Structure formats: structure tokens, C-alpha cells
Amino acid sequence: MKRLLPVVIAATLAAGTAHAGVPIFSAECPTGINVDADRKGTVRINGKKAKVKKVNNEYYEARGGGVTISVAINPDKSLTVSYTGKHRENGMCKVLAAAGQPGVPGGGAAAGSAGSPRESTAARAGQGKFDATGQIPCAQHKGQPMGQCKYGVARDPGGTATVVVTRPDGRTRAIFFEKGKAVSADLSQADGNMTFHATKESDLFLIRAGDERYEIPEAVITGG
């Protein structure tokens, strides 16, 4: 089993820089990848300068040495960090510290301290702290018949949840829900198709994330 090695990304928040808006944080991924960035916005992966791309105000990518680090700012302002390796292996990273993130070391009130808020669903899901697990119908490729995929879900009241699905190839996909609606997934440019679309029929969410398809019962999100 590969050791978990720290992935640390730090980027400037000063206006006028090429990478303004990238959160300052540190995370840990299940591969031997080290990433860091100075306050000038220079990001290095394993000591070599990486190319940083701002996809939008909520999503950034750092690439170098055949590795892509994806940084997503979720609707609740928590962070989801994932990686895609040289052979398209991928997974979610554990956020260890994040500027301004309560409940995350280095990001505000310490988790478990008096009056501190609970960690976000995305943070808990990234650490494997699920409220429930099971299987849902899924298909990984366009035109592929539906099969079954394992999932884990971290929930908050009011229909907020993060569902992490393990795909047939062993990689994971995170799908985010806010106020009872499916709002996004952790798609990156490495996936090719980054289109996200969700509808609901009765008590079933029908999700399209790129070429992937998922059917998620409402009870998975609400716990009902």
C-alpha cells in the first residue's frame, strides 16, 4: 500500500495576480505527490514548477509531471481537493488546513471546540466519515448499461450532502447536494467531458457527470 504523503498548495490571494482567488490550504493524497505554491502564485509539484489554470471562480487546476491537482470551492465554501495521476488513477485528498475554514486545522475554530461548527459534508466525505453506505445504479461510459456502484454519503440537515461513488474502475466521483438539489460534481478537465446535469423524477435523482450516469434515491441524501 502506498504511503499517504502530504500535498500542500498555497497561493496568493492578492488582487492582480494570475492566480488570485486560489485558496490557501494543505491536503493529503494517497500517492507520492508533493505540491506547494508560494505567495507569488508559483505552484510546484514534486519540486518542479506547475502550470496553474483558473477554470472559474470555484475551480482551479495545477498540472506538472503528468499529475493534475484539482481544487474546487464548494457552495458552502469548503474545499474539495482531488488528484489525477500519470496513468489516470485518481482519488480524493484529505484537506489538512485551509485559510478561513472553521473546523479544519489552521482554518478557524478547531473542530470539536466549544461553539465551533461541524465540518462540512465535503470535508467529512473526503475523510471517509460517512453517515451511510450502500449501492446505487451507475454507468461509467456513454451508452454503457447501468450496473451497481458502491457509495458513501455525508449528510447535513436540509438536504445538503456529499455522495462519493466508487466507479467500476475503482476511481471515485464526488457529487454535491445543496438544499435538496444536485448542484455539481468533482469533474476536472482530465475527465474530458465536464458537463453536469441533474433532474429529479419522483424521489430519484438522475445525474449525468460527464459521460457517467448515476441514479440516487432521495433517501440517500435525506436519510429518510
Distances (CA, A) of 156 to 117, 124, 221: 12, 11, 9
Per-residue pLDDT, 213: 95
Per the DSSP assignment, residues forming a β-bridge with 182 are: 177
CB 219 within 8 A of CB 177: no
128 versus 112: the higher-pLDDT residue is 128
**Among 104, 108, 110, 98, CA closest to 26:** 98
Kindly give the residue spans of alpha helices, DSSP state H, lying in 102-150: 121-126
- The percent of residues in the chain predicted with pLDDT above 90, rounded, is 26
For residue range 76-85, what is the model confidence (pLDDT) as tens digits? Answer: 777 777 778 8
169 pLDDT tier (thresholds 50, 70, 90): confident
CB 95 within 8 A of CB 79: yes
116 versus 141: the higher-pLDDT residue is 141
159-183 mean pLDDT: 90
Scan for cell 430519484, then name that residue. Answer: 204
Distances (CA, A) of 150 to 7, 31, 44, 135, 166: 26, 22, 34, 4, 5
128 versus 60: the higher-pLDDT residue is 128
Neighbours of 62 (CB within 10 A): 24
201 versus 10: the higher-pLDDT residue is 201
Range with the poorest average pLDDT among 36-40, 112-116, 133-137, 203-207:
112-116
CB 79 within 8 A of CB 73: yes
Largest CA distance in the chain: 51
For residue range 5-30, what is the model confidence (pLDDT) as tens digits? Answer: 343 333 332 333 334 456 666 666 66
Scan for cell 457509495, then name that residue. Answer: 151
116-127 mean pLDDT: 75
For residue range 33-80, what is the model confidence (pLDDT) as tens digits? Answer: 766 655 666 667 767 787 888 788 778 787 888 888 787 777 777 777
Please tell me the distance from the alpha carbon of residue 166 to that of residue 156, in angstroms, as a whole number. Answer: 21
As given in the structure block, the three cell numbers for residue 50 are 506547475
Please tell me the distance from the alpha carbon of residue 23 to that of residue 11, in angstroms, as a whole number. Answer: 7
Is it the case that residue 147 has pLDDT exceeding 60?
A: yes
